[in-house]
Amino acid sequence: MVYPMKFVPQFFEKIWGGQKIKQLMHKDTGKIPCVGESWELSAIPGKVSVVAEGFLKDNGLDELIEIYMGDLVGEKVFEQFGTDFPLLVKFIDAQENLSVQVHPDDRLAQRLYGTAGKTEMWYVIQNNPGAGLYIGLKKGVTREDFLSAVRAGSVDRLLNFCPVQPGDVFFIPAGTVHSLGKGVMVAEVQQSSDCTYRIFDWNRRDANGNERELHVAEALEAIHFGEEQQYHKYYVPVQNKTVPVVKSDKFNVNLLDFNTPLEKVYAKLDSFIIYICTEGKIHCVYEGEEYAMSQGEVMLVPALATDLLMFPHGPAKVLEIYL
């Protein structure tokens, strides 16, 4: 029978990456000098996550869905997505600014690639003093303004800069121009897509003196000009309660900030559940078995689970994600 599972992280070197994934998340990243991303749960072809523990150890997420189908992901989720897992979960450490970028929405991605688009969410885990992110075009910026700024190498001046603090949540719909700023570490939840259009890369060069490839023509087709959004999702944490922070047609995210045991009941939820431990340590009890989690770990709870007991070892914070 399928059970709550953790998966083996996949680490990716990035020109803008650092060492916080190793230092703060306590992950063994080996000798990679600049770890930008740790993929915790992925079904992207060629980057499929494998189970870390239990009798399903070393099985890929795609294999699990083929075997367990709706029992793992939920009947409605399986009807909609089949054997394609719909989400990708990762940690991102920006030692330097990420490129200014945009992702295609479902309509454009389906037309061009036959895949889903890329709407995502950032939960800020840690930030250096004064650090922040760039998100959304300033009011009134037109396509022509944007193209002129691209040619002049001044795209950043058209973006809204937002200082951040740990616990801040930003919802980034596909079509939004954005960049994670240097000194910020986030947990990211997104649609299962690896499609990014790079618009501006802060005029930096790689070790060989080359600038990274830009995708300006594609980006111009993907950007939703004229749309105004409330990207920063404000919420009020309530200790020992489940607090909604993101509700959308792509995924839902709750925050659990707790220091006493919680019982989660999923009888009416026809979906898998993902837990991301952002602070502290906990252990979960499912059908009499214990499953531990600590800061930086991610757990997938199968849709067939009707309840789960969660016990914190002192104060803990956990993100809860489902469709």
160 within domain boundaries: yes
Sequence-ordered list of residues with C-beta below 8 angstroms from that of 235, at least 6 positions apart, any chain:
169, 243, 244, 245, 255
This prediction has a pTM of: 0.96
pLDDT digits (tens, 9 = 90+) for 248-284: 999 999 999 999 999 999 988 999 999 999 999 999 9
DSSP element (H, E) containing 320: strand 316-322
132 and 272 fall within a common domain: no
What confidence category does residue 285 fall into, taking pLDDT thresholds of 50, 70 and 90? very high
**3-state SS, residue 10:** strand
Strand residue runs (E) in 7-152: 10-18, 35-41, 87-94, 100-102, 120-127, 132-137
What's the total number of domains in the chain?
A: 2
Q: For residue range 106-148, what is the model confidence (pLDDT) as tens digits?
A: 999 999 999 999 999 999 999 999 999 999 999 999 999 999 9
- Domain assignment present for residue 4? The answer is no
**Domain encompassing residue 289:** 242-322
Q: Helix (H, G, I), strand (E, B), or coil: what is residue 248?
A: coil
DSSP state of 56: T
More confident of the two residues 153 and 49: 49
Quick: pLDDT tens for 147-181: 999 999 899 999 999 999 999 999 999 999 999 99
E strand intervals along 82-147: 87-94, 100-102, 120-127, 132-137
222, 250, 266 - which closes a domain: 222
- Pick the range with the lowest mean pLDDT from 78-82, 118-122, 199-203: 199-203
State the Cα–Cα distance between residues 152 and 158, nearest whole angstrom: 12
Residues 216 and 284 in one domain: no
* Distance from C-alpha of 121 to C-alpha of 96, rounded to nearest angstrom: 20
170 plus 305 within the same structural domain: no
- Find tokens 């802060």 and name the residue: 202
| 163 and 276 inside one domain | no
Q: Are residues 183 and 308 in the same domain?
A: no
Q: Which residues pair with 316 in a beta bridge?
A: 258
> Domain check: are 94 and 156 in the same one?
yes
In a domain, 228, yes or no: no
Residues 125 and 153 in one domain: yes
Q: What are the residues facing 87 on neighbouring strands?
A: 191
Separation of alpha carbons 66 and 82, rounded Å: 9
pLDDT band at residue 229 using 50, 70 and 90 as cut-offs? confident
Residue 158 belongs to some domain of the structure: yes
Same-domain status, 172 and 315: no
Tell me whether residue 26 is in a domain: yes
Are residues 257 and 117 part of one domain?
A: no
Statement: residue 102 has pLDDT above 90: yes
pLDDT at 1 over 90: no
Look at residue 236 and tell me if it is in a domain.
no
Q: Are residues 162 and 68 in the same domain?
A: yes
Confirm whether 1 is domain-assigned.
no
The widest CA-to-CA distance across the chain, in whole angstroms, is 62
Give the pLDDT score at 266: 93
In angstroms, the CA 235 to CA 212 distance is 37
* CATH number of the domain to which 272 belongs: 2.60.120.10
pLDDT band at residue 210 using 50, 70 and 90 as cut-offs: confident
143 and 200 inside one domain? yes
Nearest to 125 by CA among 200, 3, 27: 27
Do the domain assignments include residue 227?
Answer: no
47 & 168 share domain:
yes
Would you state the pLDDT for residue 21? 97
Taking residue 161's Cβ as centre, other Cβ atoms within 10 Å add up to 13
Q: What is the model's pLDDT at position 203?
A: 83
Dist CA 219 CA 176 (whole Å): 10
